[in-house]
Amino acid sequence: MYIKYLPAVIFFLIPLLLRADANVQEDSIRIGASMSLTGAYSTQGIPAHNGYLLCQDHLNSEGGLLGKAVKFVVYDDESNRERAREIYEKLIVSEKVDAVMGPYGSTLTEAVADITENHQMVMISPLAATSSIWEKGRKYLFMVLPPAELFLAGLIDLADQQGFKRIAVLQEDQLFPAAAGNGAVKLAEQRGMDVLFHRSYPSGKEDFSQILDYIEAHEIEVLAMAASSLSDFIRLVQQMNEKGIELKMFGTSGAVDEFQEELEDAAELTFGLSAWESTLSNPGIDRFTEDYRHRFERTPSFHAAGAYGSCQLLAEAIRRAETMDQDRLRKELLNLETTTVFSDYAVDERGFQTANRGLFIQWQDGEKVIVWPEELARGQVILSD
């Protein structure tokens, strides 16, 4: 007999429910982001997402920020630029998040940077490194990685130390790999090396046989490869092994556990850029590594540490500013000099990273060993017979 009163009850309850939801949001600091949970960049995007979530948990276990809980609101951008743009517009305009953090990589960061800039929202980019992104007059974008042009610097330096001169550089035709490859060429030429091969290839390339034939015919000693997708590295190594090509040194622009897990023995003695390793002495690194392994059941990659460290930077800026005002946060980030779990941090007036050099590792007995720079090395370079 109470059915006739149901519409009135619902009408009365809806405002209360909406106010309750609003109160929940008011009691939390909501940080929005997109991340590549599927698609070509998911190998890097998934651990980066995990890094955000672990930072959220650690901040909340310590009382949150400004007396409020921290809540990450993350959507899958599917490794797609248009999807990433839609997400950031939605987060800022419709969902009215309190802050934003960057997506994975240079391609997607460039895709969304004008959106966050137009809304005057600070965006710390955990995993974008292409210098050109910071050369467009943007004021609210902050870099954490070393510049892309230096991503293969460790390989070039190590090859020079070994006396190798015949160099080849292969790069995917995307924003970050092009910058990394071009940077490697410039560094090699500065060392007086002979860059006998420098070529871009289209994303998704399946067959590297013609490229490998050229490398073999010209007796290339060192091959530097820059790509955004892990599968490109794996395919090239597999095809190189099928042809029986042996290089003195082969190095990539990214070193992740999945590379060795997929290739197993074929990964042995290859080199790769890693912006972070758990064997470093950065503050908080043991807790981060242990808690990450416990929660996600695997060792964190530098992508996970980069996202976590970037979250630490935003948290420190909020603590110092004592507000979520974006211009105040921007000022704090410009002046901040610190070391996170991930790396040293300092930027110039563009928000461009000036403190982080990165690391180069070599796979030895199935493990990553830091071999560059010398002051951080944990082992010596091993060359194949």
Residue-wise pLDDT tens digits, 53-96: 999 999 999 999 999 999 999 999 999 999 999 999 999 999 99
Confidence of residue 6 (pLDDT cuts 50, 70, 90): very low
Report if residue 351 sits inside a domain: no
283 phi-psi bin (left φ>0, alpha ψ -120 to 50, beta other): beta
- Does 233 share its domain with 372? yes
Q: Please, are residues 287 and 312 in contact by the beta-carbon 8 Å criterion?
A: no
In sequence order, what are the beta bridge partners of 166? Answer: 194
- Does 125 share its domain with 172? no
Confidence of residue 3 (pLDDT cuts 50, 70, 90): very low
Q: For the chain, what is the domain count?
A: 2
Residue 125 token pair:
């980019």
- Does 106 share its domain with 22? yes
Predicted confidence (pLDDT) at residue 178 exceeds the cutoff of 70? yes
* 331-360 pLDDT, tens digit each: 999 999 999 999 999 999 999 999 998 899
Confidence of residue 23 (pLDDT cuts 50, 70, 90): very low
- Does 159 share its domain with 262? yes
Report if residue 354 sits inside a domain: no
Report if residue 383 sits inside a domain: no
Angle between the 175-190 and 153-161 helix axes, to the nearest 10 degrees? Answer: 30
164 phi-psi bin (left φ>0, alpha ψ -120 to 50, beta other): beta
Report if residue 116 sits inside a domain: yes
- What pLDDT is attached to residue 254? 84
- What pLDDT is attached to residue 26? 66
Confidence of residue 18 (pLDDT cuts 50, 70, 90): very low
Q: Please, are residues 156 and 138 in contact by the beta-carbon 8 Å criterion?
A: no
- In this structure, the strands spanning 222-226 and 166-172 are parallel
Q: Please, are residues 148 and 165 in contact by the beta-carbon 8 Å criterion?
A: no
- Tell me the pLDDT of the chain averaged across its residues: 92
- Does 175 share its domain with 261? yes
Torsions phi, psi of 162, nearest 5?
A: -85, -5
Of 5-9, 28-32, 132-136, 174-178, where does mean pLDDT reach its minimum?
A: 5-9
- Does 14 share its domain with 74? yes
Peptide bond into 103 cis (omega under 30): no
Predicted confidence (pLDDT) at residue 1 exceeds the cutoff of 80? no
* 104-129 pLDDT, tens digit each: 999 999 999 999 999 999 999 999 99
- Domain membership of residue 62 as a residue range: 10-147+281-345
In sequence order, what are the beta bridge partners of 75? Answer: 34
Report if residue 325 sits inside a domain: yes
* 215-258 pLDDT, tens digit each: 999 999 999 999 988 899 999 999 999 999 999 999 998 888 88
- Does 185 share its domain with 226? yes
Report if residue 295 sits inside a domain: yes
Report if residue 227 sits inside a domain: yes
Q: Please, are residues 72 and 33 in contact by the beta-carbon 8 Å criterion?
A: yes
* Confidence (pTM): 0.82
In sequence order, what are the beta bridge partners of 30? Answer: 71
- Does 326 share its domain with 367? no
- Does 16 share its domain with 112? yes
Question: Helix, strand, coil proportions of the chain in percent (round to 5)?
Answer: 45, 20, 35
Report if residue 382 sits inside a domain: no
- Residue 236 sits in a domain whose CATH number is 3.40.50.2300
- What pLDDT is attached to residue 24? 44
**Following DSSP, what letter does each residue of 148-159 receive, concatenated?**
GGGTTHHHHHHH
What is the distance between the alpha carbons of residues 92 and 182, in angstroms, rounded to a whole number?
Answer: 35
Confidence of residue 275 (pLDDT cuts 50, 70, 90): confident
Predicted confidence (pLDDT) at residue 19 exceeds the cutoff of 70? no
- Does 336 share its domain with 301? yes
Predicted confidence (pLDDT) at residue 203 exceeds the cutoff of 70? yes
- Does 31 share its domain with 141? yes
Predicted confidence (pLDDT) at residue 372 exceeds the cutoff of 70? yes
- What pLDDT is attached to residue 9? 44
* 180-193 pLDDT, tens digit each: 999 999 999 999 99
In sequence order, what are the beta bridge partners of 72? Answer: 31
- What pLDDT is attached to residue 284? 98
Torsions phi, psi of 277, nearest 5?
A: -140, 150
- Does 129 share its domain with 24? yes
